[in-house]
Chains A and B, each alone.
Chain A
Amino acid sequence: MILKTNIQSMKKTLVLIALAAGLSLAAQPALASGGAKHPHSGGFSFEGPFGTFDQGQLQRGYKVYREVCSSCHSMNLMHFRTLAEPGGPFYEEGQVNPAENRFVKALAAELQVPDIDSETGEPIMRDAVAADKFPSPYPNATAAAAGNGGAAPPDLSVMAKARHDGADYIYSLLSGYRAAPAGLEIRPGQHYNPYMAGDLTPFWKGQGHVPEGGFIAMPPPLRNGQVTYDDGSAQTVDQYAKDVAAFIAWASDPKQVQRKQSGMGVLIFLFLFAGLTYVSYRRIWKGVAH
């Protein structure tokens, strides 16, 4: 009977914890995705508790960012050395230091960054090194806005964390451009995208329901065959979008895979510890009616 009571109260505790978790999830604020289409899954390898990044995909994603996105979008929180950290696109087994990674040094050296001449104090441009941040395409936010019709292209460093559905959203948005439905008034400098948040009601002159999605200032950035892949992957908009979304998901939280792996160890420990504690509890309380 005591055992039964214990199990019952334990069940209650577990139900309670589950309820608490459910409550907190249910209390998730509704996102202001005013009628945007729900992103479709990119089927990414890094999803789930055991998922890891596909290094080839991260390298391709970096290439797409470098050759396409980086002409307008900065990644101010990224350093070249980060690319060679464990789990990163250019990590090499046996490397001594991410900043000494041969690929990263070569990739950095392709670019120029502003600096001050240490002798004269004059502003100069020099080759980037692994310790440098990714250079920004614009000198400041005002210049970025002025060059893009008043809306500065957002920094992409943490973009996968800054949008609901993260990588799936980025993938869906980049590959989801389509012709605006007839009857939708497009303002100059705007483009229709069904995955973009917004409310198209004021611009809808057509029949039936207001279309899903919103206006985005970014023109469709990707074309088939635009970036050359040397690993045989398909050179399509869909593949580019998927790869760059994976790269941004990695860049937004470069330690996520290691963290999940530590988490597995932590959970195994905690479950064993819970078992031991429960056995101790049963033993100590043996013979005490309660």
Chain B
Amino acid sequence: MSDHESTYVPKTGIEKWLDSRLPIVRFGADYMSLPTPKNLNYWWTFGGILALCLVVQIATGIILAMHYVPNTELAFASVERIMRDVNGGDIIRYTHANGASMFFIAVYLHMLRGLYYGSYKAPREMIWIVGCVIFFLMIATAFLGYVLPWGQMSFWGAEVITNLIGAIPLVGEPILIWLRGGPAIDNATLNRFFSLHYLLPFVIAGCVVLHLWALHHAGQNNPVGILIPKDRTAKDTVPFHPYFTVKDGFAIVLFLILFAIFVFFMPNALGHADNYIPANPLQTPAHIVPEWYMLPFYAILRAIPDKFLGVVAMFSAIGVLFILPWLDTSKVRSMRYRPAMRTFFVIFVLVGIGLGWCGAQLPDSPVVPGMPSFQLADGMLNSYLWLNRLLTFYYFLFFIVLMPLVGLRETPRPIPATISEPVLPGGGDAMTSAAPASPEKKG
């Protein structure tokens, strides 16, 4: 699809003038007419949904920044003032706060889609890697943003997370002080967090441009996972507009319904009540937990008894995603044709949810209350600590062992020769497909 011919013809005088100087209209028109695999399912709509999330966060964020005061004495009250005295301020602020959660729901589904359909495999490695950079920046931005209202969880979350840096041997302590702008979390910390929280979304926007550039150069993956041969382009693709603008549009409206239910009817359901208590450095909350979207990584951090190694594990959990294209040895992209890997994938999704669950629990609490248990190393076997360790083990096993091994050992199902095959009358399932192709040739 990289050799997509431009079909744009400038009509008016100004378009012709502009086209020979800055062909921006041509760029947009080519974008809209891009041949897109016609079999993309609804899992492919999250890209558009994420673009919308970023725009919503930036638009609401800019308005919030007009009224927010980054000062430890005033921040909490300024956020409440936005919700009480600024026109539409309650809706803007709740949209921004819940928008972060919506953003992460969409990004997790988007990433799982990429994982399932092998969208990270050649020639799309750079799309995936830039996506991982975006995900990492999103986590950083969300963390910085959560500090700004200066509630109890803001403060103590910042305390816990910045302390992790201090766990790095030798250089940790100076970096920690440099990061906080002083020996403790205070006004200097809040000011720099605000500044960075405003900066990073634009870095994300820049990465999104790279993500899309790479996507349109390498071409979109599709549920069947095969590259579309040149002579099949006319039969197997449709122009992006109107076919996918309308399909993405429909999915976006459904997503907005979910978004609106949270913003208008349960705006604080995804937050922690303690963050409506103004930050108090002298009073530690009974239970410090991050926002739900960070919980799986928080769980991995706590699975390791050593603080520094825990930090290493937590960052490795994201880092391993960057090398995923080279860990996967399979020649087949889509897990639709990889039954063994599909099972491991389903377990992986459940493990991810399980890690999120563990991240919200106290490590010493029993998983099954009342069940007899025994001490194993530093904790009871029937405790979230050990469940957490088990799940963390699978998380890394999935990427580091299963990805390379299953790819070499499995026998994939026959994959269709074209993406039209599975949907044509009589074609149906790939298993009964008339012309099964060997994965070696088509991968």
Could you list which residues of chain A lie within 8 angstroms of chain B, going by C-beta atoms? 1, 5, 9-10, 12-14, 16-17, 20-21, 23-32, 34, 49, 76-77, 82, 154-155, 157-158, 161-164, 197, 252-256, 259-260, 262-264, 266-267, 270-271, 273-274, 277-278, 280-281, 284-285, 288-290
Contact = CB atoms under 8 A, between A and B. Distances in A.
Contact of A21 (B41, B258, B295): B258
B425 interface: yes
Interface stretch (B50-58, B204-212, B286-294, B319-327): B286-294
11 contacts: A23-B292, A25-B270, A29-B295, A259-B90, A267-B264, A271-B257, A274-B250, A277-B253, A280-B250, A284-B246, A285-B243
Interface stretch (B16-24, B138-146, B353-361, B367-375): B353-361
The 8 closest A-B pairs by CB, nearest first: A263-B264, A32-B286, A162-B276, A27-B292, A29-B289, A32-B287, A161-B276, A13-B42
B324 to A, nearest CB: 22
A49 B269 CA distance: 14
B137 interface: no
B276 A158 contact: yes
A255 B84 contact: yes
Contacts of A25: 269-270
Contacts of A267: 257, 260-261, 264
A31 to B, nearest CB: 7
B287 A12 contact: no
Nearest to A34: B286
A253 B265 CA distance: 12
B423 A290 contact: yes
A161 B250 contact: no
A55 B420 CA distance: 63
A259 B264 contact: yes
B109 interface: yes
Contacts of A254: 84
Interface string B263-289: 111011110111011100000011101
A13 B41 CA distance: 10
A51 to B, nearest CB: 10
A216 to B, nearest CB: 15
A24 B270 contact: yes
Contacts of B101: 24
Nearest to B419: A290
A273 B420 contact: no
Contacts of A77: 77, 80-81, 84
Interface string B71-106: 000000100110110000011001000000100010
A29 B293 CA distance: 11
A274 B263 CA distance: 18
A24 B292 CA distance: 6
A280 B94 CA distance: 31
A162 B84 contact: no
Nearest to B236: A290
Interface centre among B41, B250, B268, B420 (most CB of A within 10 A): B250
Contacts of B45: 13
Contact of B246 (A24, A163, A262, A280): A280
Nearest to A265: B264
Interface string B118-159: 000000000000000000000000000000000000000000
A288 B415 CA distance: 22
A20 B105 contact: yes
B362 interface: yes
Contact of A23 (B38, B256, B356, B359): B356
Contacts of B362: 30
Question: Interface residues of B toward A: which range?
Answer: 35 or more
Nearest to B256: A270
A253 B90 contact: yes
Interface centre among A12, A262, A270, A285 (most CB of B within 10 A): A270
B263 A161 contact: no
Contacts of A158: 80, 276
A20 B109 contact: yes
A148 to B, nearest CB: 15
A9 B41 contact: yes
B42 A17 contact: no
A260 to B, nearest CB: 6
Given A13-B42, A284-B246, A289-B424, A28 B292 contact: yes
Contacts of A49: 265
Interface centre among B256, B270, B273, B276 (most CB of A within 10 A): B273
Contact of A27 (B249, B267, B357): B357
B238 interface: yes
Nearest to A266: B260
B39 interface: yes
Contacts of B285: 32
B251 interface: yes
A53 B259 CA distance: 25
A65 B39 CA distance: 62
Contact of A162 (B270, B277, B360): B277
Contacts of B77: 76-77
Given A16-B42, A267-B257, 9 more contacts: A13-B251, A20-B105, A28-B360, A29-B295, A30-B362, A31-B287, A274-B254, A281-B246, A284-B243
Contacts of B353: 23, 26
B240 to A, nearest CB: 12
A29 B292 CA distance: 8
B83 A253 contact: yes
B27 interface: no
B361 A164 contact: no
Contacts of A76: 77
B255 interface: yes
B247 interface: yes
B276 A288 contact: no
B346 to A, nearest CB: 13
Interface centre among A24, A26, A254 (most CB of B within 10 A): A24
B242 interface: yes
B261 A9 contact: no
Interface string B223-263: 00000000000000010001100110111011111101101
Interface centre among A28, A49, A82, A288 (most CB of B within 10 A): A28
